[in-house]
Structure 1
Amino acid sequence: MSASIQTETQVAEVDIAIVGGAMTGATLALGLARLAAKGRPLSIALIEAQAPGEAHPGFDARSIAIAQGSIFELRRLGLWPLLAELGTKISNIHISDRGHLGMTELNASQFHLDALGQVVELERVGRVLFDALRHSRVQLHCPAKLTGVAPEADGHLLTLDNQQRLRARLVVAADGIHSPVRQSLGQPLTQIDFGQTALVANIITDKPHESWAFERFTATGPLALLPMGDSQGQARLSLVWALEAGQAAMLKSAPKAEFLQALQQAFGYRAGRFVDVGSRHSYPLCLSYMPRPIFHRCVFIGNAAQTLHPIAGQGFNLGLRDLVCLLEVLEEALARGQDIGAAATLHSYLALRETDRRETITNIEFLVRGFSNQHWPLVAGRSLGLRLLSWFPPLKLPVARKAMGWR
């Protein structure tokens, strides 16, 4: 009996345990810490397998675009001042269809904005966010890997690989596309394989990017170039290139000159001449989503709830809207003295997210399928669509609102 009591005392009680500390999980933890600092009674734990660094899968050498709407939300959470100096502006976006006449531009000045978004390097962002976490109210369990999830009537019992155990009234799974929480709880995931592989790298060009981003649709899929901060006086662009798996493997290991020549041929010279490339990485592209991203006292957000094709750069931005809505629902529940993990609270969150998730997922699938083939009716339709955006600027507003992540 005494041994049983001793074991029970080793379980730490928390209100919310977040599993996964990459961009979405770390941002949510800091948002909850800010909520707790406003006087809301809230204990928060963040469980993350490894600290930021080059080997961290969520804070690696990639860059992501943070939409203007997401920057507004980050500013509201008090987090954008921490990240602002890491960002490179996207003032203009050029969209084109290789081998066809369709092209258009989105310009921040058209919408009376300073920028349509900002590009940040994930490795640098990770270090900043974790430094903030170490100085916050969040109980940071890192490095620590989740090894078990046991549902209980009033929460979940979480076991970590360092033998620590936590009992949480609410678990938030922000643990990526292969979510161990989702797998442990046996929750379904729908997946659509696009038959494409993303090749990512940093590119050096011979002329400044002047805050231009580029999206070029090719026969194999979209090719995106995002502006990055200069390095040692060299202009840099972040490349995401969707290719067939065999092409991606060949170009990933091709000699530098051969790779740059292939990229130049696929993209053209609108961004200048490509003169160098950094390390190349690749990953398969698919669309995955949970039809119902809630479970008993558990919410799934970010890539654990849905993973998008990078065609429109909406992955983190959709995940950020997940966590912002969750913060709103939890704040209201706390203000009313309600159980933050109760079914009613989670269903309120689900209702808030349903339309945005469905529309974003549907739009991304439409874009991938519509711009990754050469059937002439679709080619003619998309070329005309891009031309209409150029000829009739008012038509750009709904496109820009989606691109900027406005709710």
Structure 2
Amino acid sequence: MTTAKHSTQVNAVDIAIVGGAMAGATLALGLAKLSVSLKRTLRIALIEAHVADHNHPGFDARSIAIAHGSIFELSRLGIWSKLKHLGTPIENIHVSDRGHFGMTELNAKPLGLDALGQVVELARVGKVLFDELAKSQVNVFCPAKVTSLQPQQNGHLLSLDDGSQLHCQLLVAADGAHSVVRQHLGQTTEQVDFEQTAIVANVITDAPHQHWAYERFTQTGPLALLPMQSVPSVASAQSRFSLVWAVSPAQADELKQADKTVFLDALQHAFGHRVGRFVDVGQRVSYPLTLSYMPRPIYHRCIFVGNAAQTLHPIAGQGFNLGLRDVVGLLEVIETALTQTQGEVDLGNIQLIHQYLASRQRDRDSTLRNIEFLVRGFSNQHWPLVAGRNLGLRLLSWLPPLKRPVAQTAMGWR
């Protein structure tokens, strides 16, 4: 790994990835592995604006659930073995509708699995990924920002804030919801405002989590709890959970500023006592909940992946999992192009770009549609919808075979 240095020389690369958080770092490592396995030289550059620590917006104090299907893909890429020790298994998921009769469970054992997914803390993942990048052939420019971007017939010319310049055949934008690449190229997104704000925090309960995750639908929106690894400051009989709580924007302001006791009482009232008593909460942050997506996440010699292509409501925990499927889809298209041609391959050609778009369209469209349906359906208190969704949850409990397709979707299997 090399860091950005002041230079007037143009560095020629095959693929430049802008954004080194989960999607970008995973793609860079996947490309490096592909280069070795195919014995094909790939010149890969990764440009990342922030050092991978707690202050990195993509590797902050949040936790995410990595679905079983995503773990399978990360294992194929040789990455999960480096992250496995950071994971907390989700063996069961409890889903309920507050104040109504609807509830169901998804369980790993009936599916022949040890876990439905794993919960990891992003800050710890970021360090591991960048340690692996340091051992790879990837040329990492960090910290470095793109200051200008010039599309050219045979690629893109990128200028960085340290004076470095890069020319790439293929540009991959993995730089998040507020993508700088998208702004430079004048591309827009479609927006759906759910009029909800997420409160995110780590909370402690007075009972062991026993590897259960929870999704509880409330009048203000979904409330999710993900089991986390214990830390020395937490008593053995207690548990840590990662909390994502969707509320109205006005309520979010009140909850962020509320005294700790007031906040915990409000959380207890909203969630109930299924995990015991909430006894502590860490730093509380909030962000507005929207569905933001590019109808066509491609441009001239440029592909958008992860949150740069779409940002999801956290209701089903599919944000990173969908982004990883973007990464895997791109790797598959590039691998096909390299194996079908012995000589030099232009990795930014229009055929490859459109093959990627076609490969991702069905999965992406169905996921976006399902997420919006879930948010609308479970945030609406109109009684026919309430009755319908609660009956649906009960049917899952009464008829276990119905759970398999639901579980497969939750686990990110294509």
Would you say same fold, with TM above 0.5? yes
Aligned mates of 2:298, 2:25 — CA distance in 1:
20
Residue 315 (structure 1) aligned with residue 319 (structure 2) = yes
Residue 30 (structure 1) aligned with residue 37 (structure 2) = no
* Secondary structure of the corresponding residue to residue 366 of structure 1: helix
The percentage of counterpart residues that share the same residue type is 68
1:76 aligns with 76
1:242 aligns with 246
Aligned partner (choices 344, 350, 369) of residue 362 of structure 1 = 369
Aligned partner (choices 255, 273, 293) of residue 269 of structure 1 = 273
Cα offset for 1:74? 0.3
- The one-letter code sitting in structure 2 at the alignment partner of 1:364 is I
Please give the residue correspondences for 1:287-326 in structure 2 after superposition, counting only pairs within 5 Å: 287-326=291-330
* Secondary structure of the corresponding residue to residue 289 of structure 2: strand
- The one-letter code sitting in structure 1 at the alignment partner of 2:368 is I
Aligned partner (choices 378, 381, 392) of residue 374 of structure 1 = 381
- The one-letter code sitting in structure 2 at the alignment partner of 1:181 is V
- After superposition, what is the alpha-carbon deviation per residue over 1:237-261, rounded to whole angstroms, capped at 9, x for unaligned? 0000000001011001100000000
Aligned mates of 2:188, 2:253 — CA distance in 1:
31
- The one-letter code sitting in structure 1 at the alignment partner of 2:35 is A
TM-align CA RMSD: 1.1
Contact map agreement 2:8 2:163 (CA 8 A) in 1: no
Please give the residue correspondences for 1:133-144 in structure 2 after superposition, counting only pairs within 5 Å: 133-144=133-144
Aligned length in residues:
401
- After superposition, what is the alpha-carbon deviation per residue over 1:74-113, rounded to whole angstroms, capped at 9, x for unaligned? 0000000000000000000000000000000000011010
- The one-letter code sitting in structure 2 at the alignment partner of 1:14 is V
- The one-letter code sitting in structure 2 at the alignment partner of 1:351 is A
Residue 174 (structure 1) aligned with residue 170 (structure 2) = no
Cα offset for 1:336? 2.0
User: TM-score scaled by structure 1?
Assistant: 0.97
User: TM-score scaled by structure 2?
Assistant: 0.96
Contact map agreement 1:220 1:373 (CA 8 A) in 2: no
Contact map agreement 2:8 2:165 (CA 8 A) in 1: no
Aligned mates of 1:146, 1:110 — CA distance in 2:
49
* Secondary structure of the corresponding residue to residue 231 of structure 1: coil
Please give the residue correspondences for 1:39-54 in structure 2 after superposition, counting only pairs within 5 Å: 39-54=39-54
Contact map agreement 1:20 1:49 (CA 8 A) in 2: yes
Residue 110 (structure 1) aligned with residue 117 (structure 2) = no
- The one-letter code sitting in structure 2 at the alignment partner of 1:362 is R
Moved more, 302-311 or 334-343: 334-343
Cα offset for 1:9? 6.7
Moved more, 333-342 or 290-299: 333-342
- The one-letter code sitting in structure 2 at the alignment partner of 1:401 is Q
Please give the residue correspondences for 1:228-239 in structure 2 after superposition, counting only pairs within 5 Å: 228-232=228-232, 233=235, 234-239=238-243
2:206 aligns with 206
1:14 aligns with 13
- After superposition, what is the alpha-carbon deviation per residue over 1:134-192, rounded to whole angstroms, capped at 9, x for unaligned? 11100000000111110001100001000100000000000011111111111121011
- After superposition, what is the alpha-carbon deviation per residue over 1:1-54, rounded to whole angstroms, capped at 9, x for unaligned? xxxxxx997100000000000000000000001011121221000000011112
Aligned mates of 2:358, 2:11 — CA distance in 1:
32
Contact map agreement 2:8 2:164 (CA 8 A) in 1: no
1:3 aligns with none
* Secondary structure of the corresponding residue to residue 195 of structure 1: strand
- The one-letter code sitting in structure 2 at the alignment partner of 1:358 is D
- The one-letter code sitting in structure 1 at the alignment partner of 2:109 is S
Q: Which runs of 5+ in 2 are unaligned?
A: 1-5
* Secondary structure of the corresponding residue to residue 230 of structure 1: coil
- The one-letter code sitting in structure 1 at the alignment partner of 2:87 is G
1:388 aligns with 395
1:187 aligns with 187
- The one-letter code sitting in structure 2 at the alignment partner of 1:311 is I
Aligned mates of 1:166, 1:197 — CA distance in 2:
39
Aligned mates of 1:118, 1:104 — CA distance in 2:
20
Aligned mates of 1:380, 1:235 — CA distance in 2:
34
Cα offset for 1:313? 0.1
- The one-letter code sitting in structure 1 at the alignment partner of 2:12 is E
* Secondary structure of the corresponding residue to residue 362 of structure 2: helix
2:354 aligns with 347
* Secondary structure of the corresponding residue to residue 162 of structure 1: coil
